[in-house]
Amino acid sequence: MTTATKPTTAIDLEHRLALYRSQVALRLFETRAYDLFLENLVKGTSHLSLGQEAIAAGVAAAMRETDWTFATYRGHAHTLARGVPMTPVLAELLGRANGLMAGKGGSMHLTSVEHGVMGSYAIIGAHLPIACGAAWSAQYRGTDQVAVCFFGDGTTNIGAFHEALNFAAIWKLPVVFICENNLWMEYTRTTEVTAVAHPAADRAGAYGLESILVDGNDADAVYDVAARAIARARAGEGPSLIEAETYRHGGHSRADPGKYRPDEEVAQWKAKDPVPRYRARLVELGVDEATLVAIESEVADEVEAATEAAKAGAIPGEDLLMKDVWANGGSSWRN
Amino acid sequence: MAQLTFREAIARGIAQEMRRDDSVIMLGEDVGAAGGVFKGTVGLLDEFGPVRVRDTPISEQAILGAAMGAAMTGLRPIAEIMFSDFFAVCWDIVVNEIAKSRYMTNGQMTFPLVIRSGNGGGLRFGAQHSQSVENWAMMIPGLKVVVPANATDVIGLMAASIRDDDPVIFLEAKSLYASKMDVPDGDIVDTLGSAKVLRSGADATIVSLGAMVPRALAAAEELGENGINCTVVDVRSLVPLDTSTILREVVATGRLFTVEENPRLCGWGGELSSIVSEEIFYDLDGPIVRITTPHIPLPAADALEDLAIPSVERIVTTIEKAMNS
Ligand SMILES: Cc1ncc(C[n+]2csc(CCOP(=O)(O)OP(=O)(O)O)c2C)c(N)n1
């Protein structure tokens, strides 16, 4: 088994600061999203990535602008990490007309084709085959784009996961599958219902792939392993399956307090919180406190501004209701 | 003009479009070297090569997921689901993903793809390889549903489906694969959402689809000999639905009979009946009558299957009874 947990030294300071900024942005955004949910402004459901920011930030940093992200309902972080501004994402959560999809998708379906975010999918496993299709298209058209597909540990037990892995392997598709193993499905521990200890890494061999396990709470390590997998895909060497070990600080969704998890486990993982951990590393590398504080306050201002802009967004009008079922912009099914 | 079978027309329609547009690619189980289990794709691998005509593993979700991902990134994939019954194992990709993603993303994505599938009974394959699933597809917002009834229409509607920027479920009646007709030479491109009036009569309008079209025509011949003159309309696409042609033809005779291969409940004829009652009720001279497969799983034995699917004889007797009462 390959483990790539050591921080690489190949990342220069400028990129490290960007990685820190990205993680802080995801942390503060998700915290705000939770607060707005408690204020009853985020309607419906939402699934936060608090505690898992290093994966979204680290992988996105290894991608090119022309690469594609396929995310799940737990997709705020992956969307933002690709450079989608906070305001439309927050406004989408609030169901406003200035939302990323004008309120038609909601928290679980964040999509920004312009930024290569090719959708957030809420049916477990469905997007793995879809990511294969985008990768097939890149392969067929001879572009060197790579599709990167995120999913949870529980997702490794659905058929689509296995169909997609085999499919990507036999066609040598430029796709990177990233399992964010946060140990829990909704309210059940994944190992209790899975035949192997490492739900993704232990299955890689079945598809002729290298078994890759990475510390998902270390943005540098994630960046490193993602960069290698993406380079491999871009070079035509086929897919990779990465298992990134991490933990969600909160519950599965909405107001779930996550009480089914033992306190010691939560405490143990909070001690490995990727954001302060990365901050400490930067301090160790000689970055001064003022630089870090500046980043943090800039991001906080950004979240504040996005909150105001999202709250000020118009309520979507009836004109949107019947729009865009079809490519011609309409919804008519008869003449 | 050349005599062509329905199955040969499929390959000809696809080839016509693959020649003019490099973005058209194809995938499915046994579609390449084997030419398809129903021989609908014979010759395509030879002409277009294995990069554009790809055999897949038995992975229906992967097949349709791949088609969706390819479509959202600019290609025009044609995916084959061998038997339409198998939609049940990949329906998520069709219904939750392909059909909804354009709307959910506020129009950011388009899905110009075609999913072809062998549909319906007649081959004595039993309940899991004989279903007519046009009603499954019709009820999902975001899917177009095309069901040709003859070789010329196969080519023209296939071309129209491939050129269409929306997802099309293209259902090929298995019992028609061997049917033959003279097909014009050269490119054929038809229009989705255009029903065809195949025959005109003053007394009753029979609206039919797919494999039921030739039966409706044969029944109309027989009824004509008995003094009941029928119009026969081939719906050709359920979505978009050419209600203007259909309603016009129903108004002209005052009677509507639907002939549907799908099981009774929620068949397309039910929707059509509701449109007719809402919009042209006072033009009707009698009740709407639906002739469908009963609401049962299809039996395998030829004798039983023949009893289940609307036959020429059942169409004739049902219409005679209704018209004479
Ligand atoms: C096909 C399907 N089954 C069940 C669900 C309900 N569901 C939503 S999230 C979830 C847990 C997924 O766990 P995991 O893959 O580990 O991802 P995580 O939420 O931890 O990121 C379940 C069961 C679903 N959305 N789709």
pLDDT value of residue A254: 85
Provide the pLDDT for residue A255: 81
Interface residue of B73, B93, B207 to substitute, partner A, most A CBs within 10 Å: B73
Q: What pLDDT, in 10s, does the model give residues A45-62? A: 999 999 999 999 999 999
**How much is the average pLDDT of A264-274?**
97
Q: For residue B58, what is the DSSP state?
A: S
> Any bridge partners for residue A147, and if so which?
A68, A175
Model confidence at A4: pLDDT above 80: no
- Please check whether residue A208 lies inside any domain of the structure: no
Backbone angles phi, psi at B269, to 5 degrees: -65, -30
Q: What percent of chain A has pLDDT over 90?
A: 95
Residue with tokens 């500046």: A294
Domain ranges within chain B, ordered by starting residue: 2-183, 196-324
Instruction: Evaluate whether residue A154 is within a structural domain.
Output: yes
With cut-offs at 50, 70 and 90, classify the pLDDT of residue A1: very low
Q: What is the mean pLDDT of residues A168-197?
A: 98
Entry field: residues in chain A: 335
Residues at CB less than 6 angstroms from ligand 1: A 74, 122-124, 151-155, 182, 184-186, 190, 252
Q: How far apart are CA A132 and CA A114, in angstroms?
A: 20
The yes-or-no verdict on residue A270 having pLDDT over 50 is yes
| Structure confidence at residue A43 (pLDDT) | 87
Rounded to whole angstroms, the Cα distance separating A93 from A104 reads 10
pLDDT, residue A163, reads: 98
pLDDT tens profile B296-308 = 999 999 999 999 9
Does residue A318 lie within any of the structural domains? no
Query: Is A332 touching B (CB cutoff 8 A)?
Result: yes
- Confirm whether A186 is domain-assigned: yes
Cβ count within 10 A of residue B3: 10
Q: Considering only residues A44 and B273, tell me which one the structure prediction assigns the higher pLDDT.
A: B273
What pLDDT score was predicted for residue A10? 73
| Structural domain of A271 | 2-203+216-301
The C-alpha atoms of residue B9 and residue B155 are separated, in whole angstroms, by 6
Q: pLDDT band at residue A9, thresholds of 50, 70 and 90?
A: low
Query: B2-183 and B196-324: same fold?
Result: yes
Q: What is the pTM of this model?
A: 0.97
Residue A68 has pLDDT above 50, yes or no: yes
Return mean pLDDT, chain B.
98
What the block records as the tokens of B262 is 């799908």
Determine the average pLDDT of the residues in B256-271: 98
Active site residues of B: 129
Q: Please give the interface size between A and B, counted as residue pairs whose CB atoms are below 8 Å apart.
A: 166
How many CB atoms are closer than 10 A to CB A40?
7
B240 preceded by cis ω (within 30°)? Answer: yes
Q: How many domains does chain A have?
A: 1
Q: How far is A5 from chain B (nearest CA, A)?
A: 32
Q: Does residue A260 lie in a domain region? A: yes
Q: What is the fold, at CATH topology level, of the domain defined by B196-324?
A: Rossmann fold (3.40.50)
Residue A213 CA neighbour count, 13 Å, CB half:
15
Q: List CB contacts of B113: < 8 A, sequence separation 6 or more.
A: B67, B68, B70, B71, B76, B77, B78, B79, B98, B167, B168
- Tell whether A68 is within 8 A of chain B (Cβ): yes
Q: Do B240 and A132 touch (CB under 8 A)?
A: no
CATH of the domain at A152: 3.40.50.970
- Is residue A335 one of the residues assigned to a domain? no
Q: How far is CA B51 from the centre of its chain?
A: 28
Given this structure, which CATH class describes domain B2-183? alpha beta
Cα separation of A257 and A277, whole Å?
24
Buried b (16+ CB within 10 A) or exposed e, A264-277: eebeebeebbbbeb
